[in-house]
Chain A
Amino acid sequence: MRKKSQTEIMGLLTIVVLFIFIGLIYIMLAGKADKGSLTRDVVQSEKVQSLLSSFMQLTPCYSKVPYDQMDVIIKECYTSSGGLVCGEPCKEFIIAEMDDVMKAYNPRQEYEFKILKGKEEFISKGGCTGASETKAGSVDLRDITIRLTYCIK
């Protein structure tokens, strides 16, 4: 009789172990990484790039006809190493315009805006120190690069 009850206990133990095993597998599968995050990453990168491309096309100053687009303003500002746009020094004007654009599109978004020739910074505004992740877009105008970076978290 002792042998029989031992067999019964072993059987019960097997079932309990089986249940625990199945439960663990379920928890593992349910907690798997979210595959949707890849699409979100790509969409975020595209948004930064689109925003920067749109910024380059803007005609922010209406005092001079025909209106100059931002890419022309930036090129002229760089080649002439200064100059005025709409009565303002061109560097300040460009920075202010980017600030206005970011406030209008996403006021809570921290960003970094740079205009570079190689490693030399012509314009720099903001920064992403402390951000665990960034998403950047860039536009090349012959020898200068305009870069916009979103700081994420």
Chain B
Amino acid sequence: MKSVKSCFKKAQIGMIEMIMVMIVVVVIIVIGMVFYFKFSGSSMEKTQERISEDKAAVIISSVAQLPEIECSHLKGRGAKGCVDTLKLLVLSMKDKEGNPDFVEHRRHYSDLFGYMVISVEQLHPQTSGKECDISIFGLPDYPEAPPIGCGNWTIYNNPKKGAGSVFRTMPVALYYPTNRAYTLGQLKVTIY
């Protein structure tokens, strides 16, 4: 009787041991996979963040030197960091202005920039902050000397709804060709 009982217990212990070993092995594998995916996920997130930062830095530098907005009267390297406000005005013309040439511009820029908003703002001397429009060019509300009036030009507006974004600014000199004045502004880029 005693030996039958002990055999029975031995078998039970043997079975339980095997089940426990299998459970532990499975738990180790699952924990290992969780760690692996969590780590690679967070590493990818960090890489993504770093790429966005790098991309933002590159984009803002390249936008500031676009021939479409740079101060071309300052030849070569002198044009770096200077933006021609008359060119800004031209580029910010809306389709309602009826200029068919600039509809083609927008198609080209959407290939170049993708989902982005690019604008320029005058910081000093201070302005009313209103949007500069071709319709007020030539009126007192358009900045001249001393530059007052409107102070914002949106040259590219293609945001992506519901997506995260990176916002960057860069100080630039704003040139007014009509009276050869320079003021301080900033180039603002939102990258989606």
Contacts and interface: CB of A to CB of B under 8 A. Distances in A.
Contact of A36 (B42, B49, B146): B49
A50 interface: yes
A122 interface: no
Main secondary structure of the interface of A (DSSP, over half): helix
Contacts of A51: 171
Interface in A41-58: 42-43, 46-47, 50-51, 53-55, 57-58
5 contacts: A36-B50, A53-B173, A54-B184, A58-B124, A67-B181
Interface stretch (A22-30, A75-83, A110-118, A125-133): A22-30
Interface of B: 24, 28, 31-32, 35, 39, 42, 46, 49-50, 53-54, 57, 61, 80-82, 123-124, 126, 145-146, 168, 170-173, 175, 179-186
A105 B184 contact: yes
A50 B172 contact: yes
A39 B53 CA distance: 7
A29 B183 contact: no
Contact of A42 (B57, B170, B182): B57
A69 B123 contact: no
Nearest to B147: A62
Nearest to B47: A35
Nearest to B52: A36
B46 A100 contact: no
Nearest to A102: B124
Given A47-B170, A54-B173, A100-B124, A34 B46 contact: yes
